Amino acid sequence: MWTSTCNNDAFLGLTIHYIDNNWNLKNFLLDIISFTTRHTGNNIANAIKSVLTEFNLLEKTLALTTDNESAMVVCGRIIAEELTRELNDQSFRHYRCSAHILNLAAQQGIKIIDDEVVKIRELMKKIKHSTLRCDRLRELCSIENLTYYKPQLDVETRWNSTYYMIVKFQKMLRPIEMLAATDQDIKKFVPDAQGWIKINDTLTLLEPLEKATVLLSASSYPTISDVRFLFLGIQQHLNDYIGKEGFSQSEVASSILQKIDQYWEVVDSSTLASTVLDPRTKLTLFSTGEESTNAINAVKRRFSEYHTPMSQPAVINHDNGEVASTRDYFHQLKRRRLNNSTLNITRPSSGIYEEIDRYLALPCDDNVAPLLWWQAHFREFPALGAMARDYLSIQATSVACEQAFSVASNTITRTRNRLQPDTSRALLCSKSWLEKGIGEKRN
C-alpha cells in the first residue's frame, strides 16, 4: 500500500515474479490500483483477488509476499483460506517480508543507544546544512588522506539508513573531531570515548543484518532460499556476543535476537521447501532427526503435483560475484554454528520419491548459481526442477513493490497532482511492461 503525499490518493501495488523457460528470474509491475476503501485485511484481500482474477492468475499464484502490517497478515490468511475452500488449493502461502523483520529487530537494538545516535544525527545535520562546514570537512579529509563522504541524514523508520549515517561518520571521525575542535556549536555532539565504544560494538552487531538486507532485497536472483541461511548466521553472530567478555553491547545483541526469535517460527516453516530445493544448501541447514524430516516432508507434500517436464532451456549466464561475496561472509558464521557437527545423511527410499533421494545424494555446491544448476540438471530431475522453478521465484521481501511505489512518487508529483488514478495506473503499468518487454512476440 502507498499513499501519495501530493494528492493523498492511495494505491495497492502488485508485482509478479516468475522463472521463465530460460531459467531467468523475471518480474514486473502487474497492477497498481486506486484504493478508496478502508485499509482492512478483508478489503485488501478482495482487491488482490480481483486483480489476479482479471489476469487469470488466481489459480496459478503460489505465494504472496507482503510487509508485516497486521492488515497484510490478515489479508494473507483470508486469501489462503478462500483458495483452500473454493479451489481446494492448499499450496498457497503468505510470506512475511524478511527485510521488514530485520528492520524491526535492528530498530529495537538501536533504541538502546539512542542517545549516541541522536548526537550523531544532530552533528551531521549541522554539517550538512552549512556550506562552510561541508567545505572545511572536505579539506580536513584531504589533509588526512581520507575519503570525504557527503553528510547523510537517516530516515528513522529505516534502520539501515541510520547504519549508513553512522558508518560515514565513523570513516570521517578524525576530520570531524578536528572540525569540532574549532566549532563549539558542534563540539558537544561528538561522542566521547565511551560513546564510541558503544557505537562501534553496535555496528559490529548490525553488520550481518545490513549484508543480509542488501542480499535479500534483490529481485534478479532467487532470495527465498537464502532466508534460513542468513537468519541462522545472524542468530549465531548475536549469540557469540551475548555475554562476551569485554563487549559493551550484550544488551543490544539480546534485544535484536529476541525480535528475530519472535518471528523465527514463521520464517522457519515458510522456507523449508525452498531451502531444500537450493542446491547450495539442501539439508545442511537442518539438524538431523525431526528438522530434516520436516524439511523433506515439505517437499514431498507438493512433489506429486509436478509431472510435466519442460523443454530444454537455452544456456544463460549469471553474474553472481556480489552475492557470492556476501554468502562467503555467512558461510563463516555457518561454520561457527556447525562447529564440526556431522552433515545430514538421508536414507534411500523407493517409489515416487526416488527422484528426491537422488537429488539429496548429490553433494552441495556452495558456489553455484541455483538457477544455473537447475538448468543443467533439469532433465535429470524433471519433477523437482519444475517445483524449484516455482518455489525459487518466491520473493523474500516486498522491496520490488516498494521500488514500484518509488517510481509512482516520481510520476505523481506536485506539478501533476491532478492525475486521475486510472491515468496514473496506465502510466505506471505501461512503463513497467515496456521496460520488461511484456507482450513482445518471442521467436
Domain ranges of the chain: 2-97+397-435, 98-270, 273-394
The percent of residues above 70 in pLDDT, for the chain, comes to: 84
Across all residues in the chain, what is the average pLDDT?
A: 85
> Can you tell me the distance from the alpha carbon of 307 to that of 179, in angstroms, rounded to the nearest whole number?
68
pLDDT of 340 above 50: no
Where are the alpha helices (H) located in 304-396, listed in sequence order?
321-338, 354-361, 370-377, 382-391
Query: What pLDDT band is residue 88 in, cutting at 50, 70 and 90?
Result: low
> Can you tell me the distance from the alpha carbon of 132 to that of 238, in angstroms, rounded to the nearest whole number?
41
pLDDT of 329 above 80: no
- The three grid cell numbers given for residue 8, joined into one nine-digit string: 493523498
pLDDT of 324 above 90: no
How many CA atoms, within 13 angstroms, populate the side-chain half-sphere of residue 106?
28
Query: What pLDDT band is residue 339 in, cutting at 50, 70 and 90?
Result: low
> Can you tell me the distance from the alpha carbon of 121 to that of 191, in angstroms, rounded to the nearest whole number?
11
pLDDT of 363 above 60: yes
To which residue does cell 539512542 refer? Answer: 114
Residues 19-44 have a mean pLDDT of 88
Helix, strand or coil for residue 10? strand
pLDDT of 138 above 80: yes
What confidence score (pLDDT) does residue 228 get?
A: 94
Where are the alpha helices (H) located in 144-187, listed in sequence order?
159-171, 173-181, 184-187
DSSP state of 57: -
What confidence score (pLDDT) does residue 338 get?
A: 60
Give the orientation angle of helix 370-377 with respect to helix 382-391, to 10 degrees.
150
pLDDT of 344 above 60: no
> Can you tell me the distance from the alpha carbon of 352 to that of 302, in angstroms, rounded to the nearest whole number?
12
Q: What global pTM score does this model have?
A: 0.84
Query: What pLDDT band is residue 9 in, cutting at 50, 70 and 90?
Result: confident
Model confidence over 166-206: pLDDT tens digits?
Answer: 999 999 999 999 999 999 999 999 999 999 999 999 999 99
What confidence score (pLDDT) does residue 311 get?
A: 35
pLDDT of 153 above 50: yes
| 137-141, 259-263, 312-316: the lowest-pLDDT one | 312-316
**Residues forming beta bridges with residue 414, ordered by sequence position:** none
Residues 386-396 have a mean pLDDT of 93
How many residues does the structure list for the chain? Answer: 443
* Inter-residue contact 277 to 391 (CB < 8 Å): yes
What confidence score (pLDDT) does residue 304 get?
A: 83
* Inter-residue contact 134 to 127 (CB < 8 Å): yes
